């Protein structure tokens, strides 16, 4: 009985990984792709646990979902900012609005 339940769980896990991978690659929305990537990393960590490789599972969960996912989300947030016309300024640059409102401050820099 236990053997058949675990086999069924493994089959569902493999099908879920295939479905997540397909959805991840075919997604047109970047945010959805990042969320699917994080989910894929967590499911892959579960697969490594089932394969009795807990060290690889821990590394997959920590790096694949815990570190890379938030980095992708932060990069996506920056991409959305630049699409709206905003960008980060260097220390020596001023915004155009600052130059128009306070011209003597820009001359001292």
In the chain, the number of structural domains is 1
Over residues 39-90, the pLDDT tens digits come to: 999 999 999 999 999 999 999 999 988 899 999 999 988 887 765 555 565 5
* Sequence-separated contacts (24+) of 13-20 with Cβ below 8 Å: 13/43, 13/46, 13/47, 13/50, 14/47, 16/43, 17/43, 17/44, 17/47
Within a domain: 59? yes
10 — pLDDT class (breaks 50, 70, 90): very high
- Report yes or no on 108 lying in a domain: no
Residue 69 structural domain: 28-83
Output the pTM of the full model: 0.69
What distance in Å separates the CA atoms of residue 24 and residue 38, rounded to the nearest whole number?
10
Q: 4 lies in a domain? A: no
Phi-psi region of 52 (alpha: psi -120 to 50; beta: other; left: phi over 0): left
């Amino acid at each position: 009985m236990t053997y058949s339940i675990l086999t069924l769980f493994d089959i569902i896990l493999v099908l879920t990984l295939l479905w997540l991978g397909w959805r991840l690659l075919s997604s047109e929305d970047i945010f959805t792709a990042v969320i699917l990537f994080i989910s894929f990393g967590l499911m892959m960590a579960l697969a490594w646990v089932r394969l009795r490789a807990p060290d690889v599972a821990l590394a997959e969960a920590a790096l694949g979902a815990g570190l890379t996912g938030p980095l992708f989300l932060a990069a996506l947030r920056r991409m959305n900012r630049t699409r709206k016309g905003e960008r980060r300024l260097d220390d020596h640059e001023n915004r155009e609005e600052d130059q128009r409102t306070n011209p003597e401050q820009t001359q001292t820099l």
